[in-house]
């Protein structure tokens, strides 16, 4: 854990040093939990967006994308239930004066028990070696069984307390589990209170309730209110999806852990509209499709796990998270929710307008059911950064920091490096840079010895370095160096674009995704 916290610190400082992420308004000492993406960060972020958009919209003829406004009519949030129910239960520790989300304190307690189970399983694996059968071990080992029962009983109590909005019961659970404040170490807790997460502001010059509007806490509602506009203008037939990438705002009680939890963040959401009764099939379909999409990035399959929701949101009949192994442990990266017809029905009721689809095959109109996939762009950014950041010891005992970012997401796909700054090498290098620029973001660098330049590119995750030397002028060949293996290879300039495409093109990653 200690070591992982250190890793997060290293990532934060590396991000700043190389222009990925800066603390927001830093010259004024920053603003809590707010960050700016720098010159390389915005490239990486745009590439993540492109991977999502292309996989969702370009690769599916029945999914289209929109870009709705952040401000929406205030009744939207009455209808969606956010005004009344978009709350987190908060609790304060009287000694440290620190504020926590009560449900998160309990979840973290459960996670500790889960780790105990994992330790027991690891011990078993060591003891039994190749014979080891994990499922059988989990079903029979008394320690594992005892801890699994503990988890089940805590989860049941938490679910019932939250479902009944029984805040006293939530507090009692925290007391019974003897959960202590990580800062003060005490169990001196206040009552649990509900806290609404929406930011509000006022429209124009009119003050008062009538003019109160909200910064959207999710992008989904912009899709729901446009459901018929898109369906009609795009002549869409059920099942179909509407995708959107955009900012969302939540006044999080505890916004820590870098860009994992911010008050202003970006979501990539897709609402898939289906026939009533077919939602569970599509829910399973999208769970699998989204898992594949993540794993296709190559950040390591062992870094993902599914987590079914204990307490369902007010709109859902099934929900799960895809969790990622962040430096702080496994945490939610994406949510997949079966939202039923809740949102569209609510908007019908509050707006007085019909939001129905006439299904020609069934010869009837209905309010479609919705399956949603919702991934946090910033969390995905952190997943990419934290899993690709490596401090490697090399054969000659030196070290290098390398970002093994999936090539297609890397801010620069290649660096063009003339070996020396004279003899016509820079001119030749510029020619190559120019030719690649139409398709790829490439960087030119002629300063310092070649080894130092390689290290600089490693540190920002450039997958390919192209070196131009005197031989290049004679036979039109160049040396390309691979970021991950550091292997160098001499190839003809004619082959260069193809080499980059094999590694870092959209076609490559989307073809791989399609094959899986």
Binding interface with ligand ATP (CB under 6 A): 218, 250, 252, 261-262, 265, 267, 332-335, 374-376, 378-379
State the minimum distance, in angstroms, from the CB of residue 250 to ligand ATP: 5
Closer of 279 and 332 to ligand ATP (Cβ): 332
H helix intervals, 401-477: 425-437, 450-460, 470-475
Closer of 267 and 296 to ligand ATP (Cβ): 267
Residue nearest ligand ATP, Cβ-based: 376
State the minimum distance, in angstroms, from the CB of residue 260 to ligand ATP: 6
In order, the DSSP letters of 39-53 are: HHHHHHHHHHHHHHH
State the minimum distance, in angstroms, from the CB of residue 1 to ligand ATP: 19
State the minimum distance, in angstroms, from the CB of residue 9 to ligand ATP: 19
Q: What is the dihedral sign for C-alpha 27, 33, 39, 40?
A: positive
Closer of 15 and 267 to ligand ATP (Cβ): 267
Closer of 213 and 383 to ligand ATP (Cβ): 383
- Residues in CB range of 479: below 8 A, 6 or more apart: 466, 467, 469, 488, 489, 490
H or E segment and range at residue 330: strand 329-340
φ, ψ dihedrals at 427, nearest 5°:
-65, -45
State the minimum distance, in angstroms, from the CB of residue 107 to ligand ATP: 9
Closer of 291 and 512 to ligand ATP (Cβ): 291
In order, the DSSP letters of 4-37 are: HHHHHHHHHHHHHHTTSEEETTGGGT--TT-EEE
State the minimum distance, in angstroms, from the CB of residue 154 to ligand ATP: 17
Nearest-angstrom CA–CA distance, 196 and 48: 30
State the minimum distance, in angstroms, from the CB of residue 288 to ligand ATP: 17
In order, the DSSP letters of 183-223 are: TT----EEEEEEEE---EEE-TT--SGGGEEEB-S-SHHHH
- Residues in CB range of 92: below 8 A, 6 or more apart: 98, 99, 100, 189, 190
Closer of 262 and 466 to ligand ATP (Cβ): 262
Nearest-angstrom CA–CA distance, 363 and 273: 17
Q: What share of the chain is helix, strand, coil (3-state, %, to 5)?
A: 45, 25, 30
Closer of 162 and 375 to ligand ATP (Cβ): 375
State the minimum distance, in angstroms, from the CB of residue 12 to ligand ATP: 16
Closer of 132 and 306 to ligand ATP (Cβ): 306
Nearest-angstrom CA–CA distance, 349 and 267: 27
Local structure of 470: helix, strand or coil: helix
């Amino acid at each position: 854990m200690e070591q992982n916290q250190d890793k997060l610190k290293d990532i934060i400082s590396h991000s700043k040093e190389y222009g990925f992420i800066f603390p927001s308004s830093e010259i004024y000492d920053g603003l809590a939990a707010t960050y700016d993406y720098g010159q390389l960060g915005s490239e990486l972020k745009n590439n993540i967006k492109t991977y999502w958009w292309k996989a969702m919209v370009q690769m599916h003829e029945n999914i289209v994308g929109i870009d709705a406004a952040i401000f929406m009519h205030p009744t939207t949030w009455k209808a969606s239930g956010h005004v009344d129910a978009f709350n987190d239960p908060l609790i304060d520790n009287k000694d440290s004066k620190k504020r926590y989300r009560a449900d998160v304190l309990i979840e973290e307690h459960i996670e500790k028990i889960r780790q105990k189970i994992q330790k027991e399983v690891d011990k078993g694996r060591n003891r039994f070696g190749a014979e080891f059968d994990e499922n059988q071990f989990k079903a029979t080992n008394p320690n594992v069984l005892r801890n699994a029962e503990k988890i089940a009983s805590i989860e049941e109590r938490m679910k019932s307390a939250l479902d009944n909005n029984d805040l006293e019961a939530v507090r009692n659970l925290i007391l019974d589990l003897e959960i202590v404040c990580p800062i003060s170490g005490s169990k001196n807790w206040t009552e649990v209170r509900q806290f609404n997460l929406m930011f509000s502001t006022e429209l124009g010059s009119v003050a008062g309730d009538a003019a109160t509007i909200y910064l959207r806490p999710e992008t989904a509602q912009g899709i729901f209110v446009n459901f018929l506009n898109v369906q009609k203008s795009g002549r869409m037939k059920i099942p179909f999806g509407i995708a959107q990438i955009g900012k969302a705002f939540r006044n999080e009680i505890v916004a820590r852990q870098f860009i994992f939890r911010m008050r202003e963040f970006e979501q990539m959401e897709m609402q898939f509209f289906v026939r009533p009764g077919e939602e569970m099939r599509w829910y399973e379909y999208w769970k699998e499709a989204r898992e594949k999409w993540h794993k296709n990035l190559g950040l390591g399959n062992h870094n993902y796990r599914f987590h079914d929701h204990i307490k369902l949101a007010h709109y859902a009949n099934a929900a799960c998270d895809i969790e990622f192994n962040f430096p702080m442990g496994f945490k939610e990266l994406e949510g997949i929710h079966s939202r039923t017809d809740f949102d569209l029905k609510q908007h019908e009721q509050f707006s007085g307008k019909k939001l129905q689809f006439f299904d020609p095959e069934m010869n009837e109109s209905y309010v479609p059911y919705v399956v949603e996939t919702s991934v946090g762009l910033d969390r995905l950014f952190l997943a990419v950064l934290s899993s690709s950041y490596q401090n490697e010891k090399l054969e000659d005992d030196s070290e290098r920091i390398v970002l093994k970012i999936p090539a297609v997401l890397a801010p620069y796909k290649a660096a063009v490096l003339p070996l020396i700054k004279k003899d016509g090498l820079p001119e030749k290098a510029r020619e190559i840079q120019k030719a690649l620029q139409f398709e790829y973001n490439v960087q030119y660098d002629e300063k310092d010895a070649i080894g130092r330049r390689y290290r600089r590119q490693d540190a920002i995750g450039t997958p390919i370095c192209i070196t131009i030397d005197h031989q290049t002028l004679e036979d039109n060949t160049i040396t390309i160096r691979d970021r991950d293996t550091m292997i160098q290879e001499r190839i003809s300039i004619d082959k260069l674009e193809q080499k980059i495409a094999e590694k870092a093109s959209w076609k490559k990653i989307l073809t791989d995704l399609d094959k899986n």
